[in-house]
Structure 1
Amino acid sequence: MIQPDPSTVRFAGPWTHRDIHANGIRFHVVETATAPPDAPLVVLLHGFADFWWSWRHQLTALSAAGYRAVAVDLRGYGDTDKPPRGYDGWTLAGDVVGLIRALGYGQATLVGHADGGLVCWATAALHPRMVTSIGLVGSPHPIALRRAVLKNKAQRRALLPFFLRYQVPLVPERTLTKAGGDAVEQLFRSRTSPSWQGTEEFADASTHMRSAIRIAGAAHCALEYQRWAFRSQFRSDGRRFMQAMDEELKIPVLQIRGELDPYVLARTVEGDARWAPRRRLHTVLGAGHYAHQEAPDEVTEQLKELL
């Protein structure tokens, strides 16, 4: 099967595609030209098996509101470089810090979905001077998530089978990419609201995700995030990372969760308050795990309030 070229994620639209070098690799980023050059910076970070397109609605809306919104293909995804290593929490936080500096800023608001949200938590804890606030969609604090998996049978049942399935070599990569990326669409479908699945928006998003995960190396790199997150729990580097994350954030935190999210449960995100006392929790009624795509206007308004 022919693999898509990385440039296929550079969709035309009211935005500009750029290559930014940071933390030793090249990142593909997307931004509009409507925001003033001195506008506050907002960095948008996508989740597992996704890419910058996940934030298409917020990218344009936040820019129109006067912010410099920049959507990123994370390390290993889309048209960003795919190095063989660097999928640990420290390096991923370093990627974001490098991007902020390469864009000419000293700090930024970070907004992330799922794995991208975990990068937000890590960057805010490890580099607090670089982060003014964070917005999270379906992404609990990593310590809260670990505790929920250990203590909450429902959360363990929702999350652990995927983590375990992804630990073996080669097979998960083949599963994600075979049949034109059908497994990614099934994953997407299983975590979104039934009412949204019949829309043209869902069809377009799933088609783009299926193509992006089949870019050479993308599936392997996506799985490396999951593999490090799981395996590091049994190693000294994972224990050091969790110790570093066990810090109370002084910045504003917005936690958004879809009411129907079957992957990150309500009780899990409720535990975030211990590490983010200035956290505000917002539930998007009728939405699943991808609230920023399922209810983009509502999520954008919440982000504007955070900003």
Structure 2
Amino acid sequence: MEKIEHTMVRTNGINMHVASIGSGPAILFLHGFPELWYSWRHQMLSLSSLGFRAIAPDLRGYGDTDAPPSPDSYSALHIVGDLVGLLDHMGLDQVFLVGHDWGAIIAWYFCLFRPDRIKALVNLSVPFFRRDPAINFVEKFRAALGDDFYMCRFQIAGEAEEDFLWDTVKVFTRILANRDPKPPLIPKEIGFRGIYKDPPSLPSWLSQQDINHYATKFNQTGFTGGLNYYRALNLTWSLTGAWTEGRVKVPTKFILGDLDLTYHFTGMKEYIHSEEGLKKDVPALDQVEKSKMLDLSNSYTLFVNETKSLPPLKTSKYLQKPQKKKVKKAKMEKIEHTTVQTNGINLHVASIGTGPAVLFLHGFPELWYSWRHQMISLSSLGYRAIAPDLRGYGDSDAPPSAESYSSLHIVGDLVGLIDKMGIDKVFLVGHDWGAVIAWHFCLFRPDRVKALVNMSVPFRPRHPIIKPVEGLRALFGDDYYICRFQEPGEAEEDFAGDDIANILKKFYGGRNPSPPCVPREIGFKGLKAPELPFWLSQQDLDYFVEKFKQKGFTGGLNYYRALNLTWELTAAWSGVQVKVPTKFIVGDLDITYHFPGAKEYINGDGFKKDVPFLQDVVVMEGVAHFINQEKPEEVTTHIYDFIKKF
């Protein structure tokens, strides 16, 4: 044990304690609740002697690692972000991943989010849980097992902590020595203290010294960090809609004991052993091992040795589409309008045509209607054009909290939408905020995108330290429009003092590419409204006005207010490239093109480095921000000429 090295690593905004030993291919061990890196001591010593580098952190909230106070800092996105940052810090491109209990849950998510970083997975105790789009985790457990089920009881902040700290030694003895596979129910009248007051005798594999090690650490740190994983269960559910139908596609071995309580959950045995269950959700599952053995190091060794030389995942091939068809103009009235339930909201969707699907994502302050020209033209060329009002806009639902507008939420809506429509892959087209969402869509679910055409907003790699709003404030000051949008209600109040038509004309008619700053003493309503731009008819403006009069601007503004939240939740994708075939279009009068360093990035090597399958960059002369409406025919041609290749 004394050969195990202990270091502190700064990752994803926290300090993480990491235990490690050995050299060779790296194995990353993830512990569960209520445990520590120490739970892997046996495997670390054994596998390091067999030529592996064994790495076991105290996860966020545990042991000598930092414990942020809020449960909202313990989603699977946060934890995987910590671990990706750890690998980056240690210079590790790929690892073998081993998880148990909560560590297994995090490992499944790690493989969903970043399969490129995993050589192979060995998970223990907790099988992959398919996300139910209709009911969150805690309510599902509550419906099945009642309010007394331990996970439901853990939701109340402070209650379990008070009982656990009553006698930490007894708590650990009771939990670690448990051999009763029935669901742990804790009636309120008995409480956790009543359950743990008479612990069983220590099993042969657990010494009093081991118990004391855990007790000492948890007496120092408390249990809140570990309990916050349970309290963030529903948050993780709300953020992972994009992976509802996701499959774990890394080589996997699953091990559990026949007395493990997870094995005795209703329907679990059938799920684990069925070809239509775990094997379907984890198609590269090598085997399931139900074991009574206590030392499983040999199982890990056999599996990782078999998978040491596995080739990396290969990119998919793209089919050639037939050559250009004769144009047949459709009419606006042929566009169909439906409402689709997805990711917990109702999404208004406009669509027209049949054939390969093209999904259009609008920006701010816009609607599906911004794509009317492209939809009509491409549908006549043999494509199915689909344009939703994004969350918060038009006839789609608008959750009130800004925390419901992260890119994880929006991409979750869109993946759910194409699932409902029975579409496996789409051509993706985005503009402004729609482009931002499209970049994230391609990061999170590249398997669902055939090719991407993005406009106005180039890919912006995540800065590992500086939050986006703080970065913009440092560049442009507090008056920069995105900074002004951060305060809930302020921009809305300012907009309310003006006519909606004037507000929209101020956005749509702008042709000054300098950074839009709005001094507080002037406000948005103090800015002069330009004439209606030549590319927008009064009828078009009236449509936008009517919808924003009904819905308001809060939904769209909440995308800006969730910028820092998206940054916080996407640490797992720091440094990741967008690996789908891409075309980028921007006007030379677009404010985004005049962002400091943007021209050099777009036209130099930087953009191509971050988007390696970038095939074409088009800079349209004399064109401003709302490029798809200002130059509808040219933009449609650019889209068609690109997507017809695939």
TM-score by length of 2: 0.41
Shift in alpha-carbon separation, 1:260–1:22, aligned structure 2, 3 A: same
Once the two structures are TM-superposed, the CA of residue 200 in structure 1 deviates from its matched residue by 6.0
Matching residue of 1:42 = 358
Q: Select the structure of larger CA radius of gyration.
A: 2
Partner of 2:553: helix, strand, or coil?
Answer: helix
Matching residue of 1:7 = none
Partner of 1:27: helix, strand, or coil?
Answer: strand
Q: Deviations over 1:49-78 (max 9, x none)?
A: 110110000011111111111111000100
Matching residue of 2:561 = 227
Partner of 1:190: helix, strand, or coil?
Answer: coil
1:17 correspondence with 2:337: yes
CA RMSD of aligned residues (A): 3.1
Aligned residues of 1:63 and 1:69 also touching (Cα < 8 A): yes
- Amino acid paired to 2:623: A
Matching residue of 1:214 = 549
Once the two structures are TM-superposed, the CA of residue 136 in structure 1 deviates from its matched residue by 0.8
Partner of 1:225: helix, strand, or coil?
Answer: helix
Residue 453 of structure 2 is aligned with which of 108, 121, 135? 135
Matching residue of 2:590 = 261
Following the alignment from structure 2 to structure 1, what is the Cα–Cα distance between the partners of residues 622 and 477? 19
Once the two structures are TM-superposed, the CA of residue 83 in structure 1 deviates from its matched residue by 1.5
Following the alignment from structure 2 to structure 1, what is the Cα–Cα distance between the partners of residues 617 and 470? 23
1:201 correspondence with 2:536: yes
Structure number with greater CO (CA < 8 Å, separation at least 6) is 1
Matching residue of 1:6 = none
Residue 190 of structure 1 is aligned with which of 510, 521, 533? 510
Matching residue of 2:579 = 250
Q: Deviations over 1:14-42 (max 9, x none)?
A: 3111111111111111112xx33xx1111
Matching residue of 1:3 = none
Percent identity of the aligned residues? 27
Q: Deviations over 1:126-174 (max 9, x none)?
A: 1111111111111111327989999999x94499701111111212112
Following the alignment from structure 1 to structure 2, what is the Cα–Cα distance between the partners of residues 165 and 138? 21
Once the two structures are TM-superposed, the CA of residue 246 in structure 1 deviates from its matched residue by 3.0
Following the alignment from structure 2 to structure 1, what is the Cα–Cα distance between the partners of residues 426 and 451? 7
Aligned residues of 1:191 and 1:263 also touching (Cα < 8 A): no
Shift in alpha-carbon separation, 1:191–1:221, aligned structure 2, 3 A: farther
Residue 485 of structure 2 is aligned with which of 166, 184, 206? 166
Once the two structures are TM-superposed, the CA of residue 197 in structure 1 deviates from its matched residue by 5.0
Following the alignment from structure 1 to structure 2, what is the Cα–Cα distance between the partners of residues 15 and 192? 34
Aligned residues of 1:108 and 1:132 also touching (Cα < 8 A): yes
- Amino acid paired to 1:223: L
Shift in alpha-carbon separation, 1:304–1:114, aligned structure 2, 3 A: same
Following the alignment from structure 2 to structure 1, what is the Cα–Cα distance between the partners of residues 575 and 478? 22
- Amino acid paired to 2:558: E
Following the alignment from structure 2 to structure 1, what is the Cα–Cα distance between the partners of residues 443 and 373? 28
Aligned residues of 1:135 and 1:303 also touching (Cα < 8 A): yes
Partner of 2:617: helix, strand, or coil?
Answer: strand
Shift in alpha-carbon separation, 1:204–1:242, aligned structure 2, 3 A: farther
Shift in alpha-carbon separation, 1:26–1:245, aligned structure 2, 3 A: farther
- Amino acid paired to 1:222: G
Partner of 1:167: helix, strand, or coil?
Answer: coil
Aligned residues of 1:122 and 1:245 also touching (Cα < 8 A): no
Following the alignment from structure 1 to structure 2, what is the Cα–Cα distance between the partners of residues 248 and 258? 24
Aligned residues of 1:45 and 1:72 also touching (Cα < 8 A): yes
Matching residue of 2:622 = 286
1:273 correspondence with 2:608: yes
Residue 117 of structure 1 is aligned with which of 424, 435, 443? 435
Partner of 1:179: helix, strand, or coil?
Answer: coil
TM-score by length of 1: 0.82
Matching residue of 1:180 = 499
Aligned residues of 2:469 and 2:483 also touching (Cα < 8 A): no
Once the two structures are TM-superposed, the CA of residue 201 in structure 1 deviates from its matched residue by 2.4
Shift in alpha-carbon separation, 1:224–1:185, aligned structure 2, 3 A: same
Partner of 1:111: helix, strand, or coil?
Answer: strand
Shift in alpha-carbon separation, 1:293–1:12, aligned structure 2, 3 A: closer
Aligned residues of 2:478 and 2:484 also touching (Cα < 8 A): no
1:301 correspondence with 2:598: no
Following the alignment from structure 2 to structure 1, what is the Cα–Cα distance between the partners of residues 471 and 447? 33
Shift in alpha-carbon separation, 1:79–1:148, aligned structure 2, 3 A: closer
Matching residue of 2:399 = 83
Matching residue of 1:61 = 377
Aligned residues of 2:472 and 2:483 also touching (Cα < 8 A): no
- Amino acid paired to 2:340: I
Once the two structures are TM-superposed, the CA of residue 288 in structure 1 deviates from its matched residue by 0.4
Following the alignment from structure 1 to structure 2, what is the Cα–Cα distance between the partners of residues 162 and 83? 23
Matches within 5 A, 1:151-162: 156-157=475-476, 161-162=480-481
Shift in alpha-carbon separation, 1:178–1:238, aligned structure 2, 3 A: same
- Amino acid paired to 1:250: K
Shift in alpha-carbon separation, 1:185–1:158, aligned structure 2, 3 A: farther
Gaps of 5+ in 1: 1-10
- Amino acid paired to 1:14: K
Following the alignment from structure 1 to structure 2, what is the Cα–Cα distance between the partners of residues 251 and 183? 36
- Amino acid paired to 1:64: S
Q: Deviations over 1:191-216 (max 9, x none)?
A: 489xx955262544444333322223
Following the alignment from structure 2 to structure 1, what is the Cα–Cα distance between the partners of residues 379 and 561? 35
Following the alignment from structure 2 to structure 1, what is the Cα–Cα distance between the partners of residues 592 and 373? 23
